[in-house]
């Protein structure tokens, strides 16, 4: 490990504030042999209190969303309630965006303070050339860029979730429950994927292959026609049916119910499985994308989770405005291609033997290109009318208990 939290004692015996002490020889030997993140400036293993504090903040926001925000929105399908739902979701989306920006600045401030105490943390990392003065600013831009990429890719997720919910005939209360627990599961899986990816990207060939994969995915997104989603053909649904009986009707917002005295999964749990497996499939794209922007685990994980936090509220906002941005999928495709090029071809173009020997693309340029692509396709969507309008009105079953067969 590069360093550990410890208290220094003065000569008078008084304890001074916690600081970061240099690693011992035994720690360096352990680090060189077993550390999975040798190129990270701030390893989660060394700075676990920071990670724990971030996760506590995430739990607080999730609980506030579950117990406060949803109650403010109301459950009845009146016109007034629909307007209140939209504005409540829009306001909570703004809170989540502000929280993400605040987290980015907080991490940059933390990095500046830690590097002032122990500048040796930058040794052997991609930030060493930037130096102690410039590295925190780079961290800030990388966090914001990663967040922007993840929140943009989440829009595509939301459209698929909308199709899934309409397929199973979920009303708003059921949609909220599935989205909430889907987000909890997404946080766990993203943490796992980012940990594995961050450990693998130290090998140049892995980073290159991720870039090629993103380029291919982006080209397919731009050129291929949208396929009709068929949740019933999800292989995990067939596996679930072999493990536990599946009820034919909803039981309120419960995931499990009793059917002839036997525990059975409700269609709501089936919907949750479809949403989770779909999100895992999207993570295959999003995790390499954020690792192309930064290999710093705190930034990759933090920006990803901040994007996921606003997913529930953003769903109800995007569902109302989906038809206005029908060209956004092209912008997302071009973003994936750009990020893939950043991992493969562009390092050779930006390589400078003196000032940039590794060929890192300036983070401000990457952020600017992504913003331009997304803003451009959104503006074009407003100028060029869609051929077929996307139906975004909420579908509510007549009795609220009959799922689609």
270 occurs within a structural domain: no
312 occurs within a structural domain: yes
Helix (H) or strand (E) segment spanning residue 319: helix 311-321
pTM: 0.71
Are 62 and 180 a contacting pair, CB within 8 Å?
yes
246 occurs within a structural domain: no
pLDDT digits (tens, 9 = 90+) for 355-381: 555 556 777 787 788 888 888 888 888
331 occurs within a structural domain: yes
Q: Kind of pairing, strands 262-265 and 19-21?
A: unpaired
How far does Cα 374 stand from its chain's mean position?
A: 17
Mean of the per-residue pLDDT values for the chain? 75
Report the pLDDT averaged over residues 333-350. 80
pLDDT digits (tens, 9 = 90+) for 112-153: 999 999 888 888 787 887 788 888 999 999 999 999 888 877
pLDDT of residue 357: 54
pLDDT of residue 393: 39
Report the pLDDT averaged over residues 50-59. 90
388 occurs within a structural domain: no
In the predicted structure, residue 390 carries a pLDDT above the cut 60: no
pLDDT of residue 108: 93
105 occurs within a structural domain: yes
273 occurs within a structural domain: no
Interatomic CA distance for residues 32 and 135, integer angstroms:
24
101 occurs within a structural domain: yes
Segments forming the whole domain that contains residue 184: 35-221+282-383
Interatomic CA distance for residues 342 and 360, integer angstroms:
8
Signed CA dihedral, 200, 205, 207, 210: sign only: negative
Q: Kind of pairing, strands 19-21 and 4-6?
A: antiparallel
Report the pLDDT averaged over residues 311-339. 76
The tally of domains found in the chain comes to 1
pLDDT of residue 38: 55
pLDDT digits (tens, 9 = 90+) for 188-209: 888 888 878 777 766 667 778 8
Interatomic CA distance for residues 386 and 181, integer angstroms:
34
């Amino acid at each position: 490990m590069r360093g550990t939290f410890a208290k220094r004692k003065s000569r008078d015996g008084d304890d001074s504030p916690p600081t970061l002490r240099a690693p011992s020889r035994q720690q360096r030997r352990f680090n060189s042999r077993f550390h999975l993140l040798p190129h990270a400036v701030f390893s989660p293993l060394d700075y676990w209190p920071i990670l724990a504090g971030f996760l506590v903040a995430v739990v607080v926001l999730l609980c506030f969303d579950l117990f406060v925000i949803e109650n403010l929105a109301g459950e009845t399908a009146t016109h007034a309630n629909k307007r209140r739902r939209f504005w409540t979701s829009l306001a909570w989306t703004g809170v989540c965006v502000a929280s993400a920006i605040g987290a980015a600045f907080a991490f940059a401030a933390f990095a500046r303070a830690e590097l002032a105490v122990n500048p040796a943390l930058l040794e052997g990392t991609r930030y060493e050339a930037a130096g102690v003065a410039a590295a925190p600013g780079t961290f800030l831009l990388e966090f914001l860029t990663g967040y922007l990429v993840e929140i943009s890719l989440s829009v595509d997720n939301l459209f698929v979730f909308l199709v899934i919910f309409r397929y199973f005939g979920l009303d708003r209360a059921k949609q909220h429950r599935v989205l909430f627990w889907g987000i909890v599961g997404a946080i766990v899986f993203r943490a796992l994927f980012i940990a594995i990816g961050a450990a693998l990207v130290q090998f140049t060939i892995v980073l290159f292959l991720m870039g090629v994969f993103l380029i291919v995915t982006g080209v397919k997104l731009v050129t291929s026609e949208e396929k009709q989603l068929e949740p019933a053909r999800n292989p995990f649904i067939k596996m679930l049916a072999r493990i536990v009986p599946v009820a034919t009707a909803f039981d309120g917002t419960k995931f499990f119910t009793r059917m002839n005295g036997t525990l059975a999964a409700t269609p709501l749990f089936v919907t949750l499985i479809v949403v989770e497996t779909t999100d895992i499939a999207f993570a295959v794209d999003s995790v390499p994308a954020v690792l192309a922007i930064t290999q710093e685990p705190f930034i990759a994980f933090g920006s990803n989770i901040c994007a996921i936090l606003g997913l529930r509220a953003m769903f109800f906002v995007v569902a109302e405005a989906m038809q206005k941005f029908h060209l956004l999928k092209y912008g997302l495709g071009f973003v994936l291609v750009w990020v893939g090029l950043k991992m493969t071809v562009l390092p050779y173009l930006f390589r400078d033997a003196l000032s940039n020997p590794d060929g890192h693309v300036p983070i401000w340029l990457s952020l600017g290109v992504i913003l331009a692509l997304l803003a451009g396709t959104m503006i074009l969507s407003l100028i060029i009318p869609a051929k077929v309008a996307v139906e975004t009105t909420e579908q509510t079953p007549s009795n609220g208990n009959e799922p689609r067969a």
